[in-house]
């Protein structure tokens, strides 16, 4: 990518018993908000630590602003990190914690205090400047950690699951705060999370990792709607994957025979025969108490309903295959859905996404 601020080239990290990062290539533009997402042990935090200079790559290169970072120590990279544990100094006051990076850069005491107070004002913490950090709430400590990371005005901010220790309402508030800061400052945020909701709410681009590799990168809506493989589709959590064999064509659609029935899907990337898998998102499936004339339809029995506020997930058994369907509360009430209730599912052929076939 031309004019990339951060570039990873064939990046590898091997430990004696674990190959954590496997040949990653990645370009990040100045001002982007990038989320590295994936299950535990996928390599996302290791990748962040490599960028920060807290780990040395086994092979490959990291470039920041066109300069190779191989052999450059963390304190020379200007890539502060906000940790999951926050890593605040318990023996220092709020002000002293925020001042600390400036002290390390040999900034004089008057300028240090001025810049630290500016950031405490910005984060709504100026009245707490002299408090010990142990006297703060979780959300307040999180804001101190962010102020400490940003007080040096870095071009890049690294964040390693910074909201995971907060309760639900504080996570939402801090997401809003991070989004506001990113827009105001215009600097690059590289954010590690395993939470899909955080990545979707914050990131311009998502890098979904597994087994030390990037499985897919793109805008959140594209990764959700157009997964590149079965792992991505399953990780998104609200996709239904159906596999079978192409048996022919029906106009612009391909026909796939599966153990659950015969379905039509967009035919652009399929031939007239061979194995095929497709995805239908949980929010694109319609429910009815009786069958419909839809081309793609199946019949099943409600297993259970999971409450998520106004949106709920209905789990349905279809011939031993579990379907997930997302509906608004009023739609579930209208159908009087209960465990054991028979229900018909249908979706439009155009709403199916055909998974690329493995090479």
**What domains can you pick out in the chain, each with its CATH number?**
4-228 (3.40.50.300), 238-354 (2.40.50.100)
Find the mean pLDDT for residues 121-126: 89
Find the mean pLDDT for residues 291-297: 74
Find the mean pLDDT for residues 19-34: 96
Output the DSSP codes for 223-287: HHHS-SSHHHHHHTSSEEEEEEEEEEEETTEEEEEETTEEEEEE-TT--SSEEEEEEEEGGG-EE
Find the mean pLDDT for residues 4-27: 96
Contact predicate 7/165, CB 8 Å: no
Using DSSP, state whether 211 is helix, strand or coil. coil
| Residues 6+ away with beta carbon under 8 Å from 35 | 191, 192, 193, 198, 199, 202, 203, 205, 206, 207
The pLDDT of residue 351 is above 50: yes
With pLDDT > 70 as the criterion, what percentage of the chain qualifies? 97
Amino acid 162: pLDDT: 85
Tokens 């789990």 belong to: 315
The C-alpha atoms of residue 17 and residue 85 are separated, in whole angstroms, by 26
pLDDT band at 290 (very low <50, low <70, confident <90, very high): low
Amino acid 291: pLDDT: 53
**What's the pLDDT tens digit per position in 57-81?**
999 999 999 999 989 999 899 999 9
Tell me the sheet residues that pair with 208: 37, 216
| Residues 6+ away with beta carbon under 8 Å from 350 | 266
Find the mean pLDDT for residues 239-244: 94
**What's the pLDDT tens digit per position in 144-186?**
999 999 999 999 999 998 887 777 777 888 888 899 999 999 9
Amino acid 184: pLDDT: 92
Amino acid 2: pLDDT: 67
Both tokens of 331, joined, read: 């739609």
Full-model pTM: 0.89
Q: What are phi and psi of 236, to 5 degrees?
A: -60, -20
Amino acid 292: pLDDT: 60
Q: What's the Cα-to-Cα distance from 304 to each of 239, 314, 345, rounded to whole Å?
A: 17, 6, 15
**What's the pLDDT tens digit per position in 192-211?**
998 888 999 999 999 999 99
Contact predicate 13/20, CB 8 Å: yes
The C-alpha atoms of residue 316 and residue 293 are separated, in whole angstroms, by 20
pLDDT band at 359 (very low <50, low <70, confident <90, very high): very low
**Averaged confidence pLDDT in the chain:** 91
Find the farthest-apart pair of alpha carbons in the chain and give their distance in angstroms, rounded.
Answer: 76
Both tokens of 42, joined, read: 């996928």
Find the mean pLDDT for residues 132-141: 87
pLDDT band at 358 (very low <50, low <70, confident <90, very high): low
Amino acid 59: pLDDT: 97
The C-alpha atoms of residue 218 and residue 260 are separated, in whole angstroms, by 32
């Amino acid at each position: 990518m031309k004019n990339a601020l951060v570039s990873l080239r064939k990046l590898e990290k091997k430990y004696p018993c674990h190959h954590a990062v496997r040949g990653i290539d990645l370009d990040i533009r100045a001002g982007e908000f990038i989320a590295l997402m994936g299950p535990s042990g996928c390599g996302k935090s290791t990748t962040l630590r490599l960028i920060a200079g807290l780990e040395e790559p086994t092979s490959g290169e990291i470039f920041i602003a066109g300069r190779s970072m191989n052999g450059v120590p963390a304190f020379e990279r200007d890539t502060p990190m906000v940790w999951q544990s926050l890593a605040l100094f318990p023996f220092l006051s709020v002000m002293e914690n925020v001042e600390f990076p400036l002290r390390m850069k040999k900034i004089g005491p008057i300028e240090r205090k001025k810049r630290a107070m500016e950031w405490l004002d910005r984060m709504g913490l100026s009245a707490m400047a002299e408090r010990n950090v142990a006297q703060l709430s979780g959300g307040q400590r999180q804001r101190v950690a962010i102020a400490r990371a940003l007080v040096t005005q870095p071009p890049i901010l690294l964040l390693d699951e910074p909201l995971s220790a907060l309760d639900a309402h504080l996570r939402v508030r801090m997401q809003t705060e991070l989004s506001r800061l990113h827009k105001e400052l215009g600097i690059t945020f590289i954010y590690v999370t395993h939470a899909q909701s955080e990545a979707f709410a914050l990131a311009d681009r998502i890098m979904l990792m597994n087994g030390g590799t990037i499985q897919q990168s793109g805008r959140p809506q594209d990764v959700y709607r157009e997964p590149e493989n079965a792992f991505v589709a399953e990780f998104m959590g609200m996709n239904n994957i159906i596999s079978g064999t192409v048996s022919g064509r029906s106009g612009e659609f391909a026909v796939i025979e599966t153990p659950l029935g015969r379905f039509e899907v967009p035919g652009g990337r399929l031939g007239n025969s061979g194995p095929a898998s497709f995805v239908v998102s949980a929010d694109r499936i319609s429910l009815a108490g009786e069958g419909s004339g839809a081309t793609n339809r199946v019949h099943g029995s409600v297993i259970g309903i999971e409450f998520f506020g106004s949106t709920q997930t209905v789990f349905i058994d279809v011939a031993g295959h579990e379907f997930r369907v997302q509906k608004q509360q009023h739609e579930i009430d209208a159908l009087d859905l209960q465990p054991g209730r028979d229900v018909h599912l249908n979706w439009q052929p155009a709403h199916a996404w055909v998974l690329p076939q493995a090479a």
